[in-house]
Amino acid sequence: MLATEPTATILTGQQYLSTPNTAPNQAIFPLTAGVNEQDHLTLGGCDLLDLVQTYGSPLYVLDEQTLRTACQQYREGLRQYYGGESLVIYASKAWSCLAVCGIVASEGLGFDVVSGGELYTTLQAGVGSDRIYFHGNNKSEAELRYALEQGCTIIVDNWLELNLLADLATPGSPARIFLRLTPGIECHTHEYIRTGHIDSKFGFDPNQLPEVFAWVGARPQLHCTGLHAHIGSQIFERQPHQDLGGVLVDWMAGAIAAGLPIDTLNIGGGLGIRYTESDDPPSITEWVKAAAQAVESACAARNLPLPRLICEPGRSLIATACVTAYTVGSTKTVPGIRTYIAVDGGMSDNPRPITYQSLYRIVAAGQMSAPATETVTVAGKHCESGDVLIHDAQLPPAQPGDVLVVPCTGAYNYSMASNYNRIGRPAAVVVHQGEAELILERETYEDLVRGDRLPARLKA
Ligand code: LLP
């Protein structure tokens, strides 16, 4: 090496592991991550190599303790920093399945669902409809009927939905609704995951509010007690949610003046997480404190009583709780350009890099203290050049059969997974205190053709 060359710090996998008691959304690995005597990564007391041996790969590994800690930090933050009643609801679009619903429900959270399927899943997990909130910009009539029958709160997005609900509900059995409004607040995140700016497909335009409030107020079959707004996702600033608190309180004043019995404000979700060291989100507690105090001071300034405050995080509750384990297969070195290491999954189990150019870290689970001396491109196995999980990953030399682990894959990974190339979706296990339990079975070839129908005349 030339004396003038900068000496890059070569990290080991171990150095990515979190320190205990960090806020889950500020850690890269689950809070229980460790390294055992064999130099293997462990989560929830389970050896990742053993898990892959038992359940195969790719494998989603969900650490129960990290998910529970995140739920508790949200609830505790609101309890500590908000003077009124509060509720945390889990944006189940981040990862909806029975076991996740079960854990989150047992921590006392409610649920945000955005489709009949998410509603069904949540109900199947045993969650009471009194803590389910149904979102969506184009709910079907069948979905609205289902939500009404079950008695959940419907977060109404537009006029079509208001009209449908006014027809479906009766004054004797009114629809419990909130109104979703577009706050016109900009925040710095990927344009696909920004929702609060005025040019958004979600929610009522602020200019329409007097008309909407009057229309709803004139219909006894619509019992509207809340206002909602969501400004985007993976947000690192506190200011947008503080501004949102003020905007919602203003609207609440307008709605109450128009005769609506508004007692709840829902400020949405959106707190970011640390996928790589350069991400710097506030902790869950810091975010909750900022948002809660903004609502409190806006109410004090307008001399309004404190509403019940709801927030509905997804990513910051569950992203860091899960990692994905892959097995290394083929490698290819393009001399002078790069080395590809292919793993047995890719864009079908993690569509976020190809969709949002999201960055991830990766470690070799079987050699956690080995220096990461190689710069490689970790590619998936799909027939698409763009199927790259990580560009310029730092890893120790890898061999076919090695287990690589990508952290921060709990949010919008399984939930956006596909069967591209007819690859079955991975299995998932939950780990806790040294035990692993299957929560999602790996999809089989039979599963892949289960819904296929072959008209007799088309049989080969
Ligand atoms: N509430 C509403 C109305 C939402 O639309 C969302 C997310 C949330 C809450 C939860 O936001 P979070 O706390 O997770 O940021 N697929 C994208 C993220 C899309 C977010 C959609 N809405 C991704 O993989 O980054």
Ligand 1 mutation pick, 92, 315, 360, 409, max ligand atoms within 8 A of CB = 315
CA of 288 to the centre of ligand 1 (A): 17
The order of strands in the sheet holding 46-47 is 34-35, 41-43, 46-47
185 band by pLDDT with thresholds 50, 70 and 90: confident
| Location of each CATH 3.20.20.10 domain in the chain | 65-318
Polymer length of the chain? 460
Contact, 446 vs 422, CB < 8 A?
A: no
Residue type, 193: I
Average pLDDT over residues 427-454: 98
Q: Which residues contact 294 (CB under 8 A, 6 or more apart)?
A: 241, 242, 243, 244, 245, 246
**Atom of ligand 1 minimally distant from the CA of 234:** 15
383 assigned to active site: yes
CA of 194 to the centre of ligand 1 (A): 9
Average pLDDT over residues 26-32: 95
Pick the closest to residue 432 from 103, 131, 4, 78 (CA basis): 103
Write the pLDDT tens digit of every residue in 381-411: 999 999 999 999 999 999 999 999 999 999 9
If one compares 38 and 9, the residue with the highest pLDDT of the two is: 38
User: Could you give the CA distance from residue 287 to residue 75 in angstroms, rounded to a whole number?
Assistant: 12
Ligand 1 mutation pick, 190, 233, 322, 357, max ligand atoms within 8 A of CB = 233
Contact, 145 vs 134, CB < 8 A?
A: no
User: Could you give the CA distance from residue 417 to residue 433 in angstroms, rounded to a whole number?
Assistant: 28
Pick the closest to residue 227 from 184, 294, 191, 182 (CA basis): 182
- Given a cut of 60, whether residue 3 has pLDDT beyond it is no
The 3-class secondary structure across 67-110, one letter per residue, is HHHHHHHHHHHHHHHCCCCEEEEEEHHHCCCHHHHHHHHHCCCE
199 band by pLDDT with thresholds 50, 70 and 90: confident
From the centroid of its chain, how far is CA 367? Answer: 30
6 band by pLDDT with thresholds 50, 70 and 90: very low
CA dihedral 295, 297, 298, 301 (to 10 degrees): 160
Residue 56, pLDDT score? 98
Q: What is residue 96's three-state secondary structure? A: coil
Write the pLDDT tens digit of every residue in 82-121: 999 999 999 999 999 999 999 999 999 999 999 999 999 9
Residue 376, pLDDT score? 97
Pick the closest to residue 443 from 345, 362, 353 (CA basis): 345
Residue 84, pLDDT score? 98
190 band by pLDDT with thresholds 50, 70 and 90: low
CA of 412 to the centre of ligand 1 (A): 8
- Given a cut of 80, whether residue 197 has pLDDT beyond it is no
Residue type, 350: N
Residue 15, pLDDT score? 83
- Given a cut of 90, whether residue 318 has pLDDT beyond it is yes
Ligand 1 mutation pick, 25, 93, 95, 347, max ligand atoms within 8 A of CB = 93
Pick the closest to residue 49 from 63, 64, 38, 33 (CA basis): 38
Q: Which residues contact 127 (CB under 8 A, 6 or more apart)?
A: 101, 105, 111
Write the pLDDT tens digit of every residue in 234-272: 999 999 999 999 999 999 999 999 999 999 999 999 999
**Atom of ligand 1 minimally distant from the CA of 272:** 15
Residue 371, pLDDT score? 95
Q: Which stretch of DSSP H or E encloses residue 449?
A: helix 445-449
Helices (H), 303-382: 315-318, 352-356
User: Could you give the CA distance from residue 311 to residue 108 in angstroms, rounded to a whole number?
Assistant: 13
Share above pLDDT 70 across residues of the chain, in percent, rounded to a whole number: 95
Residue 1, pLDDT score? 37
11 band by pLDDT with thresholds 50, 70 and 90: confident
Structure tokens, 194: 């920004």
- Given a cut of 90, whether residue 168 has pLDDT beyond it is yes
Residue 184, pLDDT score? 83
Contact, 77 vs 457, CB < 8 A?
A: no
- Given a cut of 70, whether residue 377 has pLDDT beyond it is yes
- Given a cut of 50, whether residue 172 has pLDDT beyond it is yes
Fold of 13-63+321-443: Lyase, Ornithine Decarboxylase; Chain A, domain 1 (2.40.37)
User: Could you give the CA distance from residue 365 to residue 41 in angstroms, rounded to a whole number?
Assistant: 5
Q: Radius of gyration of the chain from Cα atoms?
A: 24
Average confidence score pLDDT of the chain: 94
Number of helical (H) and strand (E) elements in the chain, helices listed first? 12, 20
If one compares 21 and 412, the residue with the highest pLDDT of the two is: 412
Average pLDDT over residues 66-91: 98
Average pLDDT over residues 343-359: 98
| Location of each CATH 2.40.37.10 domain in the chain | 13-63+321-443
User: Could you give the CA distance from residue 231 to residue 218 in angstroms, rounded to a whole number?
Assistant: 29
User: Could you give the CA distance from residue 313 to residue 96 in angstroms, rounded to a whole number?
Assistant: 13
Helices (H), 235-392: 239-257, 284-302, 315-318, 352-356
To which residue do tokens 């969709």 refer?
355
Per the CATH hierarchy, to which homologous superfamily does domain 65-318 belong? Alanine racemase (3.20.20.10)
Out of 71, 101, 311, 383, the active site residue is 383
**Atom of ligand 1 minimally distant from the CA of 235:** 15
CA of 242 to the centre of ligand 1 (A): 18
Residue type, 424: G
Share above pLDDT 90 across residues of the chain, in percent, rounded to a whole number: 91
**Atom of ligand 1 minimally distant from the CA of 411:** 24
CA of 269 to the centre of ligand 1 (A): 7
Write the pLDDT tens digit of every residue in 107-160: 999 999 999 999 999 999 999 999 999 999 999 999 999 999 999 999 999 999
14 band by pLDDT with thresholds 50, 70 and 90: confident
Vertex 19, ends 89 and 283: CA angle to 5°?
A: 35
User: Could you give the CA distance from residue 108 to residue 288 in angstroms, rounded to a whole number?
Assistant: 17
